[in-house]
């Protein structure tokens, strides 16, 4: 079967750095995505990786290793507004997105 694994919940301090990991096993691979979802709201797109390596976008970076079936989302200079769930999703060989259950990130002052 296909599955995406990510931690259920993480806690970090305002101003710090946090890394959210995602491992996947899917039928084929056509890219990995990170979305942010605030409580009660819809997900919003953060990043897309299809090649190995690090993609940086402001305070957020996303890393991919296809050989290891592994990705992480790195958030720097954490702000209270970063408190949200972070969803990892992989596009399989049929171009369907397989979603993880999300990591709830709690930011403390």
Partner 1 sequence: EADIYQTPRYLVIGTGKKITLECSQTMGHDKMYWYQQDPGMELHLIHYSYGVNSTEKGDLSSESTVSRIRTEHFPLTLESARPSHTSQYLCASSEDRDTGELFFGEGSRLTVL
Chain residues binding partner 1 by CB under 8 A are: 4, 8, 30-31, 33, 35, 41-45, 48, 87, 89, 91, 95-97, 99-102, 104
Complex with partner 1: residue 76 or 104, whichever CB lies closer: 104
Q: How far apart are CA 84 and CA 41, in angstroms?
A: 10
Complex with partner 1: residue 42 or 80, whichever CB lies closer: 42
Q: Structure tokens of 61?
A: 């970076």
**What's the closest the beta carbon of residue 58 comes to partner 1, in angstroms?**
17
Q: How far apart are CA 37 and CA 20, in angstroms?
A: 14
DSSP per-residue letters across 27-45: SS-S-EEEEEE-TTS--EE
**What's the closest the beta carbon of residue 37 comes to partner 1, in angstroms?**
9
């Amino acid at each position: 079967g296909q599955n995406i694994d990510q931690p259920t919940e993480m806690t970090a301090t305002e101003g710090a750095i946090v890394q959210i990991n995602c491992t996947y096993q899917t039928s084929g691979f056509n890219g990995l995505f990170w979305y942010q979802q605030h409580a009660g709201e819809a997900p919003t797109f953060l990043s897309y990786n299809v090649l190995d390596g690090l993609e940086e976008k402001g305070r957020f970076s996303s890393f991919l290793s296809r050989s290891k079936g592994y990705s992480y989302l790195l958030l720097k200079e954490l702000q209270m507004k970063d408190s949200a769930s972070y969803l990892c999703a992989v596009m399989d060989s049929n171009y369907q997105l397989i979603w993880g259950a999300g990591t709830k990130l709690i930011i403390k002052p």
